[in-house]
Amino acid sequence: MNESTLDDAKIRTRLDAWLATRLPALGTLQVLHIDRPASAGLASDTLLLETMAAQGPGPGLVIRLNRDNALYPDSDLHLHAHMYERVGLSSSIPVPRVHAVELDCSVLGHPFMVVARLAGRAPPDRPNFNFHGWLHDLTTEDRAMVWREAVTTMSAFHSLSSDHFPELQRRVGAADGLRGNLDYWTRYGNWCRSFELPLMRKAAEWLHANLPSSSQSILQLSWGDARLQNLLFDGTRCTGLLDWDMVSLAGAEADLAWWALADHKNTASRGKPRLEGLGSPAETIRLWESMSGRKAMHFDWHLVFASFRQALIAVRLAEIAPEKKANFENAAEAPIGMQWISCLLGIPLHGELTQPFVGLEK
């Protein structure tokens, strides 16, 4: 039995009983409605719960539900909970309150985590916010405020000491956070058999051979999936930072490079305009530097590293969810990560170059 075999009526019945047993402090709750956001990520399933309490509307809850075919080999709900709890305790960055982590698969078929639902909405992923949705419909001035608020929130996260996150430090298990993260993604590449592709094998060799020497003994936070789509906004105010699937101690530069790739995937690399008001990757880096009081370092290396990670994930996606991959990416073309690796390292690409690296200013 898994969640996909349960209809909403059965899920509501099971959750009503589970909430009464596991979260009695929230009162007697009944799940009225379950929504599944169309633009949610592919690493897990997301259920948005509308509840009713004895005296009226109950709290909004969000369930993150693990899947059978994992996008990541060691998805750890306890680490997600730890990140939300420690960010909330260590800063004013808005994150949801964690209510519970449930590992008993008899409830919904898979382990899951329950958090409070925050006010606000994320820029949509599918269709991309540059072409449709609430962010697209804002004024240029308001979009600029959203962008600045996003960079402010990301910078505030990067300013936190890794000492506040002992569970993350234990998971890394290395004095060098960047080297530890590169080792993790190398293991990921072996796991999804991506190194059968010569381009991916050569990229891994280049990354290991050119790992920045100044990364020694560095343990700096990296959000991981650093994109506008993983932030919630109420108007132009950021109300939530989400998603720890790729959290590490690889440092802020890993996030800035990932932001650049995610930005260009739907705009400059396709020759399409970015929404007015949203800064280019170069402008995002300059704004982050002004807020952080330091320069981004070794960015050429980090661009290759971001491309490498994106390409690995694309290989895994093609293996576990080809029908979902086709919904948001042309299955006939190479992933943007592979195309950027080809451009950045001069490695021949098998197939047509449709999403080239065009610099960071565009």
The residue out of 116, 151, 181 marking a domain boundary is 116
Residue 350, in any domain of the structure: no
Q: Let me know: does 231 contact 122? Beta carbons within 8 Å.
A: yes
Q: Let me know: does 199 contact 334? Beta carbons within 8 Å.
A: no
Domain at 266, CATH number: 3.90.1200.10
Alpha-carbon distance of 235 to 137, in angstroms, equals 12
- The β-bridge partners of 120 are none
Per-residue pLDDT of the chain (362 residues; tens, 9 = 90+): 454 567 889 999 999 999 999 999 999 999 999 999 876 566 788 999 999 998 899 999 999 998 877 899 878 999 999 999 999 999 999 999 999 999 999 999 999 999 999 999 999 998 999 999 999 999 999 999 999 999 999 999 999 999 999 999 888 766 689 999 999 999 999 999 999 999 999 999 999 999 998 654 467 999 999 999 999 999 999 999 999 999 999 999 999 999 999 999 999 999 999 999 999 999 999 999 999 999 999 999 999 999 999 999 999 998 887 655 544 455 568 999 999 999 999 999 988 899 999 999 99
Residue 290, in any domain of the structure: yes
Does residue 94 sit in the same domain as residue 139? no
Q: How many domains does the chain have?
A: 2
Residue 238, in any domain of the structure: yes
Does residue 85 sit in the same domain as residue 141? no
Does residue 215 sit in the same domain as residue 108? no
pLDDT at 7: 87
Residue 260, in any domain of the structure: yes
pLDDT at 326: 45
Q: Is the dihedral of CA 245, 43, 285, 178 positive or negative?
A: positive
Does residue 93 sit in the same domain as residue 147? no
Q: Which structural domain range is residue 215 located in? A: 134-345
Residue 358, in any domain of the structure: no
What does 127-152 look like in DSSP terms, one character per residue?
Answer: TTTTTSSHHHHS-HHHHHHHHHHHHH
CB atoms within 10 A of CB 301: 20
pLDDT at 165: 94
Does residue 237 sit in the same domain as residue 190? yes
Cα–Cα separations (whole angstroms), residue 279 to 5, 39, 263? 43, 23, 10
What does 16-51 look like in DSSP terms, one character per residue?
Answer: HHHHHHH-GGG-S-EEEEEE--TT--SSSEEEEEEE
pLDDT at 298: 94
Contacts 24+ apart (CB under 8 A), 290-293: 291/151, 291/152, 291/155, 292/155, 292/158, 292/159, 292/252
pLDDT at 219: 73
